[in-house]
Structure 1
Amino acid sequence: MAYRRTDAVVARLNETRERIVAAALKLVAQHGYDGAGIPAIAEEAGLSTGALYRYFPSKADLFDEVFRRASQREIDVCAAAAQTPGSARERLARVVQVFARRALKGRRLAYALLAEPVDPLIEADRLRYRIPYRDIFVGIIEDGIEAGDIAAQDAVLTASAIVGALNEALIGPLAPQARKTDQEQLIAGLALFCVQALGPMPARKS
């Protein structure tokens, strides 16, 4: 007869797995991927290194899970910001401000998510996780076009360009060796740039 795990065993395994991911996320947020070693993660989670590898067969697998969890959390926050009241331009600026402010507040983790050299597995997810951000902006732009506040345009193209600009503009300020910058000025400048990327307000029909 095949062994069937009891509910208690499954719950314990899931709890341990979550503890490992939480420990890895904490250390990546403090030191980046390169500075978060498996022995340190295992110690933080209260496990032996060998026990950790029973849950995640490689460091890349563990860090990919950390990347996906952390990225989804940021996507959810930005999606919520996109649903707040206001014109399309106001909502877009708000999402950009939220994204940039959270990145600058948790700069070590944000740099790990956006730019730190990583295993190809995580790099592939990095590209995939740009799509939900793009789709948030697509929704805002399409709402603006429908309302007559934004000129007709390729919403996917514009949204993709905004996502790319955000990532590129923040990499330098987030880098570990970056000089101190005026964060509020940077956030305001990014929001202004992204709103201006929508083009001028269409002329109202009389």
Structure 2
Amino acid sequence: MARVTQPARTASAKPQPSDKRSAILGAARDLVSRVGFRDAQMTGVAEAAGVALATLYRHFPSKAGLMVEVVAAVAQREVDAAAGLAMGDGTAADRLAASASLFASRALLGRKLAHALVAEPVEPDIEAARLKYRRKLARVFETIIEQGIRAREFPDQDVQASAACIVGSLFEGLVGPLALDNLSTDGERQAQARAIVAFCLRGVSGRVIDL
């Protein structure tokens, strides 16, 4: 009599801790992009992520801790996008314009999230994470400026100061006043973004560069 082989038992597909953590972070980011940091509540994050509130708190014991990780994740994504263009082909001026313009256009597309990452009043821990974001973005621009100086495209200058001014112009000139400005049209906001990028290029290069 032939032996009947029982089918191997397969473990039920249970969400792994890393999957739950990713789902929570994604839900928190999406919620912040709609309502900002202040109004993003842990109960709403848990509901959107499909986890129990107790599970959320096991992964993130505090709202501030969760929001710090949201800032870190979103900031790294934006820095990577700018750095990708910064390390591409073309002159230093072209790459500086491309990376700054990309940051501006992405900020205007995700206006609520951009405002939260830059201008919304937040707790000290979240503000510290936002300052790290600014510094990482500044380093992208520092690299381009250094290359431009070596290639004699840009005059000698304080590289860190110039990069910090670019970040400040983008954050304060664009994201702060424009991200939540419902009185201007998309075309007007894009025109303002181009004007800010042109200002940054003029300051670094010492000449007017058409965009």
The residue type equivalent to 1:161 in the other structure is C
The percent identity for this pair of structures is: 40
Q: Which residue of 2, 6, 18 maps to 1:14?
A: 18
- 1:85-124 to 2 correspondence within 5 Å? 85-124=89-128
**Structure 2, unaligned runs of 5 or more:** 1-11
Q: Which moved more, 1:94-103 or 1:48-57?
A: 48-57
User: Which residue of structure 1 lines up, in the alignment, with residue 64 of structure 2?
Assistant: 60
- 1:22-41 to 2 correspondence within 5 Å? 22-41=26-45
Larger radius of gyration: 2
1:179 CA displacement? 2.1
Q: Which moved more, 1:179-188 or 1:124-133?
A: 179-188
Q: Which moved more, 1:30-39 or 1:17-26?
A: 30-39
1:178 CA displacement? 4.3
User: Which residue of structure 2 lines up, in the alignment, with residue 200 of structure 1?
Assistant: 206
Q: Which residue of 177, 181, 185 maps to 2:191?
A: 185
Task: Count residues with an aligned counterpart.
Answer: 193
User: Which residue of structure 2 lines up, in the alignment, with residue 150 of structure 1?
Assistant: 154
C-alpha offsets along residues 14-46 of structure 1, whole Å, 9 cap, x if unaligned? Answer: 111111111111111111112221111111111
Q: Does 2:49 align with 1:45?
A: yes
Secondary structure at 1:173 match in 2: helix
Query: Is the 8 Å Cα contact of residues 153 and 205 (structure 2) preserved in structure 1?
Result: no
User: Which residue of structure 1 lines up, in the alignment, with residue 171 of structure 2?
Assistant: 167
Query: Is the 8 Å Cα contact of residues 96 and 190 (structure 1) preserved in structure 2?
Result: no
**Structure 1, unaligned runs of 5 or more:** 1-7, 202-206
TM-score (norm: length of structure 1):
0.88
- Cα root mean square deviation, aligned: 1.9
C-alpha offsets along residues 39-64 of structure 1, whole Å, 9 cap, x if unaligned? Answer: 11111111221221111101101111
Over 3 Å off, 4+ runs: none
1:119 CA displacement? 1.3
C-alpha offsets along residues 59-110 of structure 1, whole Å, 9 cap, x if unaligned? Answer: 1011111111011100000000112222111111111110000000000111
User: Which residue of structure 1 lines up, in the alignment, with residue 140 of structure 2?
Assistant: 136
The residue type equivalent to 1:99 in the other structure is F
**Distance across 2 between alignment mates of 1:82 and 1:96:** 9
Query: Is the 8 Å Cα contact of residues 138 and 155 (structure 1) preserved in structure 2?
Result: yes
The residue type equivalent to 2:191 in the other structure is Q
Query: Is the 8 Å Cα contact of residues 88 and 141 (structure 1) preserved in structure 2?
Result: yes
